[in-house]
Chains A and B, each alone.
Chain A
Amino acid sequence: KNEVEQSPQNLTAQEGEFITINCSYSVGISALHWLQQHPGGGIVSLFMLSSGKKKHGRLIATINIQEKHSSLHITASHPRDSAVYICAVIYGGATNKLIFGTGTLLAVQP
């Protein structure tokens, strides 16, 4: 069982819809990353957060430390948002590595 669980695994939306992708983890963490992997394979870091909420353009990331849960929201979705969205966590302590979820494949249809 992966230590980082994402849901849903696959998501199809219509252009303009509000999208939510969820990430749950099992033990305390020091930080959580959201990344985007484009169809061509490139990976881009979207957010890194350890508490609260961050916003960048149409993307919003939230984290609830007590519930060990994070969400990535996309407002006014567009076909160019189609990608795999990956959650990754850093567990507390002197670790120097990310533990990755398996990703959510998002397809936004025009």
Chain B
Amino acid sequence: NAGVTQTPKFQVLKTGQSMTLQCAQDMNHNSMYWYRQDPGMGLRLIYYSASEGTTDKGEVPNGYNVSRLNKREFSLRLESAAPSQTSVYFCASSEGSYSNQPQHFGDGTRLSIL
């Protein structure tokens, strides 16, 4: 039972490069989320998808784009990476359309931008 799977686990990029973080869940959940976690700060929501075919901005969306490819997959793209985007990124999913259901998290992607 994989739950929420994120790839890659680690990545180093140069400023200006682009990349896509992948996330897939096998729990048939409707809602999926992308967060970033920085030292001394709580997790912050980047984007979320309440259901297949919909996406909405969270607290810190600038510099990111997302795609809800299907019910299982929700990807996060950095078009032109900046050092300020160095962070640990977590994908999560929940059954309900609103965050009143437990969230299931992936193991995170550690991203460094040089």
B105 to chain A: which residues have CB within 8 Å? 35, 42-45
Bound Cα distance A97, B92 (Å): 11
Contact mask B95-106 → A, CB, 8 Å, 1/0? 001111111110
Which stretch of A13-21, A63-71, A99-107 is in the interface?
Answer: A99-107
Contact A96 B101 (CB under 8 A): no
Contact A97 B58 (CB under 8 A): yes
* Minimal beta-carbon separation of B101 from chain A (angstroms): 7
Also in contact, A41 and B42, with CB within 8 A (given A48-B100, A48-B102): no
Contact B48 A96 (CB under 8 A): yes
Contact B45 A98 (CB under 8 A): yes
Bound Cα distance A1, B44 (Å): 14
Contact A96 B42 (CB under 8 A): no
Also in contact, A99 and B48, with CB within 8 A (given A33-B103, A43-B105): no
Q: Which of A30, A43, A94, A97 is close to B48, meaning CB atoms less than 8 Å apart?
A: A97
Contact B108 A42 (CB under 8 A): yes
Contact mask B44-87 → A, CB, 8 Å, 1/0? 11001010000010110000000000000000000000000000
Also in contact, A41 and B107, with CB within 8 A (given A96-B50, A100-B44): yes
* Minimal beta-carbon separation of B38 from chain A (angstroms): 10
Q: Which of A42, A88, A95 is close to B107, meaning CB atoms less than 8 Å apart?
A: A42
Pairs across A and B, CB under 8 Å, 13 listed: A4-B42, A41-B108, A42-B108, A43-B108, A90-B99, A96-B31, A96-B50, A96-B99, A97-B99, A98-B43, A98-B45, A100-B42, A101-B42
Binding site for B on A (CB under 8 A): 2, 4, 30-31, 33, 35, 40-45, 48, 50, 86, 88, 90, 94-103
For the complex with contacts A33-B102, A45-B104, 14 further pairs of A-B residues with Cβ separation under 8 Å are: A40-B107, A41-B88, A43-B92, A45-B102, A45-B103, A45-B105, A48-B102, A86-B42, A88-B43, A96-B99, A97-B45, A97-B58, A98-B43, A102-B42
